[in-house]
Amino acid sequence: MVKMILLLKRREGMSVEDFQAYYETRHALLGRKLLHNALRYERRYLQALGDGLGETYDCITEVWFADQAALEAALARAAEPENAALLAEDESKLFDRSKIRFYVVTDERASA
């Protein structure tokens, strides 16, 4: 299994409440459409701790795929010109796009 992790920061001037509401009611729908072959698609909203570390990002999004080929197929679909334009337009309403960070990890678990 392969997992894509995105670290996301809301755009300046957007409240935490508005960010979460927009993500759940609009952007997540687009994500599910473009990543239609994902096994799981989850958002984890962060709360700042006293040290301020949580202020850098507002959300960790995790998307699981069966394998690398499935991930690459989803990314290729998202990169198609029409889809990429839709994604960029929606992201600009929600995220500080300059701070988006994207990682791919292998989801391996040791048996006890």
Q: Is the pLDDT of residue 20 over 80?
A: yes
User: How sure is the predictor about 106, in pLDDT bands with cuts at 50, 70 and 90?
Assistant: confident
Mean pLDDT of the chain: 91
Q: Residue with structure tokens 């701790």? A: 49
Give the C-alpha separation, 98 to 45, whole Å: 19
Residue 41, token pair as written in the block:
């698609």
Report the predicted TM-score, pTM, of the whole model to 2 decimal places: 0.86
- pLDDT tens, 49-96? 766 655 689 999 999 999 999 999 999 999 999 999 999 999 999 999
